[in-house]
Structure 1
């Protein structure tokens, strides 16, 4: 079962807000009147502890009053500003490691309503080379992270493990063979548009060739671990409405629950 945290957060914020409002409109006046009547009967102002007893909120009103501001702040930050994600797989190696905790700019591609993800204020469009988080087209409850390779209208060709954008090969410079004595993985520096970044290719993996024309309003994405990535080469394009945001930083590395979180892994994502 997929856990829709955004939906639960919206519902929790709504319910606590409504309960707090109901208490303010329907019951707060009654508590104030009760206090005034008690002070008149006593002939003066009551001690503070007695006041607290007389004006004490019911448990649900007290809980809602305490939680609503916190939930509202979390909802605004998470929905419109920054959201944390954890990298669960190696499809973006070497850029992102399994267990990296990343921050995603939620407003970079426009302000979107929580849960429905509808864009209400357009800001920027993705550019080639951006690392983006999006909802997986085949299961929107699941978030994926990949690199933008093709923009609307582009013709993308992948041949001999090289990307061609509108007929132009994207430059690759070999940095290392891993391990050096019996290499299985090749480490390249690839320039995708104006973005230089590192990629892996698997020497033993077969070449997968293909050509795709990116439709309007959609994007072609690939993982940096080219031979070990489930991406647009296999399931197609990412519609703009499924974009979540732009990944911009790693703030912690924590590969397993029993390992020690490493905050020295903080770095910008490029």
Structure 2
């Protein structure tokens, strides 16, 4: 029995564009014989291959440079992140810094308010001193005028008719009866009890002398407001040195806050009107 023949790929026909056909073609009579025509093609192919190799090496160098840069930049970013997590920035603001800034602003505001109050109290004290000095001068001038009037009335002169100069006398405050005094005392006590605790210094054993003086000042202010038939100014209630202007202002502020006294500035002058306790 004959052995089986192996399958073989059939030979292809040489295409018309093959190198052999080109070498034998009549269209190229100057073509080199045999494989000699391959030499210029292979030279050109070698030059292009070398150019490709140079370009590939350049791209490899560029890739290596980019890889080195990426690695270095990633390392730098990692170091910066670790540094931010492990380093304490002492000058960076924290929650405590904001709390301290708020407290500092509050202290500055309180200091400015106290300075304004002190300046206002000093101004009131100066005005009270001026008012007291003016009142003293007025009293002296009134006494001198009364003495001159008495001297003129008791002296006979050639001028016909008596002197026409009239001196106004200070009208004395009418005295209150026992019942009126009791009713006024009860009303004053009712007003005092409606005021803040610092004005209720009625127990000498439990309140310092300053509070006792403040209660007496408040009673004097209340009595002055109750005796007034119309609005009063602050200077009308000042009695130096027992009742300075700053203390009168403090008492009036407490009375206005409780709506016992009403402020009126419609005439251009600040006046206080008594309304009484509700």
Q: TM-score, normalised by structure 2?
A: 0.24
Bigger relative contact order, structure 1 or 2, given CA contacts below 8 A and separation 6+? Answer: 1
User: Which one has the bigger helix percentage?
Assistant: 2
Structure number with greater Rg is 2
TM-score when normalising by structure 1? 0.25
The structure with the largest strand share of the pair is: 1
